[in-house]
Amino acid sequence: MSTPNRTVDVVVVGGGPAGATAAHELALAGRDVVLLDRAGRIKPCGGAVPPQLLIDFKVPESLLVNQVDTARIISPTGALVDIPVGDGFVGMVDREHFDEWLRVRAANAGATRVVGAYESMERDQNGVITVHYRRGGGRTARIEQVRTRMVVGADGALSKVARQELPAEAAKARYVFAYHEVIESPQIEDEAFGAARCDVYYEGGLSPDFYAWVFPHGDTTSVGTGSANKGFGLRGAVRDLRARTGMDRVETIRQEGAPIPLKPLPRWDNGKDVVLAGDAAGVVAPSSGEGIFYAMTGGREAARAVDLALATGDARELRKARRRFLGSHGSVFWMLGMMQRFWYSSDNRRERFVAICRDRDVQELTFEGYMRKELVKARPMAHAKIFWKNIGHLTGMART
């Protein structure tokens, strides 16, 4: 798509939920947008989305491959706690089809789709950016260019845009490395598998600092784990979990691995013409690893910031993407980060964490927060009860 005489408003690098949402929002705002994305890349992901995502982003329910009504958490000693979702559900999407639907929607809104791998950018004396990319994404593909006024970097946790444009911030990024195997769903439901149940394993042998999971997607199921410990054997842990649950007897469809950021970067923009979104900005919820909703929210905020910066000529608008996002979700991220650092640090603490989750107040507030994507503030007595129960478990006074 080399267009030496044309300068677009924005190039969005990366076509996952964050990038596709940013491109869609900018196209709806009337901006000339190029969505640059590599073909054939499927991120390893449990695929869970809250009903609020369908509402906020006008995503049809038909894209869900499953609706889960129960979350089961399993302690290191095998203690089980089933947490009913209540009146709602946890939606499950297949990222291969979900992400493509988002990209098609962006194109239908007016964004220009280009299949290619981002390489670099440079600026002329007038500050206009030239983005260089490999057409088609292959290593030997020819280099092409597109000129643009702004760039949204939504190219994943190891973002090349971030490393080039915000190197100090990118160097501070920390990750959980995730690996999962997509398998044929078992035909028989039992204690090890429920077609409408997400299973989460809190056990050091399956993850020393995160969790392992079994998430049903209808005809297929995601079995995976994650850890920030580079020496931990993710593949071996998934192999052990499948053997333990009998899922080693079903066909493996594909295997995928990728880093997941642990916390938002301290800055998302370069102060001139680039802003980050999604995994590139570190936007994944600690403790749970939930990323799709937050990626799309971050993509929307990045689009809003870019649109305002273009309209006003004031690059300071770009910094407001991070400010607005954390204003809405920063307290949730802080709380989940504290929880992960403490409760996931040993099997003894994991056992106590699972015990806390037997409490009805904990269950109801957890899913109310998940459904509404905010801390639930309307029930102060429930929060007080949970506080004292946490103190009991922290001090060992509560029985597990």
- Please report the pLDDT score of residue 298 as a whole number: 97
Domain boundary among 316, 333, 350: 333
- Please report the pLDDT score of residue 153 as a whole number: 98
Same domain for 166 and 77: no
**3-state SS, residue 91:** strand
Same domain for 281 and 141: yes
**3-state SS, residue 246:** coil
Same domain for 112 and 19: yes
Contacts of 301 (CB under 8 A, 6+ apart): 277, 320, 321, 322, 324, 325
Over the Cα atoms of the chain, what is R_g?
A: 22
d(CA 230, CA 201): 20
Predicted model pTM: 0.90
Same domain for 186 and 254: yes
Same domain for 347 and 326: no
Same domain for 250 and 152: no
Same domain for 121 and 235: no
In a domain, 80, yes or no: yes
- Please report the pLDDT score of residue 378 as a whole number: 46
Per-residue pLDDT of the chain (400 residues; tens, 9 = 90+): 655 668 999 999 999 999 999 999 999 999 999 999 987 677 777 888 988 899 999 999 999 999 999 999 999 999 999 988 877 788 999 998 999 999 999 999 999 999 999 999 999 999 999 999 999 867 778 899 999 999 999 999 999 999 999 999 999 998 889 999 999 999 999 999 999 999 999 999 999 999 999 999 999 999 999 999 989 999 999 999 999 999 999 999 999 998 999 889 999 999 999 999 999 999 988 888 888 999 999 999 999 999 999 999 999 999 999 999 999 988 888 888 888 888 888 999 999 989 888 887 777 766 666 666 555 444 444 434 444 344 444 445 455 4
Domain that holds residue 321: 7-44+95-172+263-333
CA angle 99, 151, 116 (to 5 degrees): 50
d(CA 129, CA 152): 12
Domain boundary among 240, 261, 282: 261
Across the beta sheet with 90-92, the strand order is 48-49, 90-92, 66-68
b/e 91-113 (16+ beta carbons within 10 angstroms → b): bbbbbeebbbebbebbbeebbbb
In a domain, 215, yes or no: yes
In a domain, 246, yes or no: yes
Same domain for 156 and 85: no
Domain boundary among 285, 308, 333: 333
Same domain for 198 and 285: no
User: Which CATH number is 156's domain given?
Assistant: 3.50.50.60
Burial class of residue 90, CB neighbours in 10 A (0-12, 13-18, 19+): buried
In a domain, 242, yes or no: yes
Same domain for 285 and 360: no
In a domain, 126, yes or no: yes
Neighbour tally for 275: CB within 10 Å: 36
Same domain for 321 and 276: yes
Same domain for 102 and 82: no
In a domain, 199, yes or no: yes
* Count of domains for the chain: 3
In a domain, 327, yes or no: yes
User: Which CATH number is 236's domain given?
Assistant: 3.30.9.10
In a domain, 368, yes or no: yes
